[in-house]
Amino acid sequence: MSSPAEYYKSLPPISKAYGTLCLVFTTACQLGLVDLPDIALIYKPVFSRFQVWRLITTFFFLGKFSINFGIRLLMIARYGVQLEKGPFERRTADFLWMMIFGALSLLVLSAIPIFWTPFLGISLVFMLLYVWSREFPNAQINIYGLVTLKAFYLPWAMLAMDVIFGAPLAPDLLGIIAGHLFYFLTVLHPLATGNIILRTPRWVNKLVARWRIGAPTPMHNSAQPDRTTRVADGTTSAAFRGRSYRLND
């Protein structure tokens, strides 16, 4: 069994960086080193006082120390890591772009009054969960030893549990919407039409290459990989089954 230090070192770069930032920011808030109102997503001071850091810090707070905070952190460590090591293996730039696109989508959605929430960290984690559930739809998930279901339904099950325990609905729902938007633009729509709408920008590839973050995306595959699986009758089926990556036990 590897030590915690060895496990942490083995984590892929983007998931490790995001999880670490969430832990650091949440710990700082818990210790009173950072005031929550100073990092919350409040649009008025962003534009009137140019407090643009709020557009970034809102994604690094997962709630005060609690069981729910631990669950969200574990979701990054499991589902984010499995995405980065599986479908996004050797595609660090694409994974980083997914996170950036998700963050931008959440900022736009949160500008709608009924969807506004001061912290979008939970939403970004839920976006990761949703994309993972589409990539590994047939994986069997056991929830608290009570029920076993396919991964495809996990985001909705987690949302229902949060509602039952009194958590706000908006953060989870925003993450699902952002995750579906990304999956639709990068997988479902290209499979249906053959046209790729959302490509990883060159500046993201250059950023990953310059800072040597993980593995740069090969230039001949700078968008999304061919996820189409041909079956006997010539139709495509990968859009609804995900890809056949084997999960670790």
In tens, the pLDDT along 225-248 reads 545 443 333 333 343 445 433 333
Q: What is the mean pLDDT of residues 169-196?
A: 95
140 beta partners: 150
Average pLDDT, whole number, for the chain?
86
Per-residue CA distances from 206 to 46, 211, 216, 222, 223 (Å): 29, 8, 8, 11, 14
Say how far apart CA 10 and CA 4 lie, in whole Å. Answer: 10
pLDDT higher at 2 or 204: 204
Nearest to 134 by CA among 151, 116, 115, 117: 151
Q: What is the pLDDT of residue 83?
A: 97
Lowest mean pLDDT among 83-92, 136-145, 175-184, 193-202: 136-145
Say how far apart CA 185 and CA 201 lie, in whole Å. Answer: 14
Q: What is the mean pLDDT of residues 15-40?
A: 94
Look-up of token digits 């730039």? 93
Say how far apart CA 235 and CA 225 lie, in whole Å. Answer: 18
Q: What is the mean pLDDT of residues 205-215?
A: 87
Note whether 87 and 247 are within 8 A (CB): no
- Reduced to 3 states (helix: H, G, I; strand: E, B; else coil), residue 114 is helix
pLDDT higher at 232 or 216: 216
143 beta partners: 147
| pLDDT at 59 exceeding the cut of 70 | yes
Q: What is the pLDDT of residue 212?
A: 86
pTM of the model: 0.86
Tokens of 97: 């772009």
Lowest mean pLDDT among 64-78, 212-226, 235-249: 235-249
Q: What is the mean pLDDT of residues 139-161?
A: 89
Say how far apart CA 115 and CA 109 lie, in whole Å. Answer: 7
Q: What is the mean pLDDT of residues 6-16?
A: 93
The residue type found at 225 is P
**CA angle, 178 as apex, 102 and 118 as ends, to 5°?**
75
Q: What is the pLDDT of residue 225?
A: 53
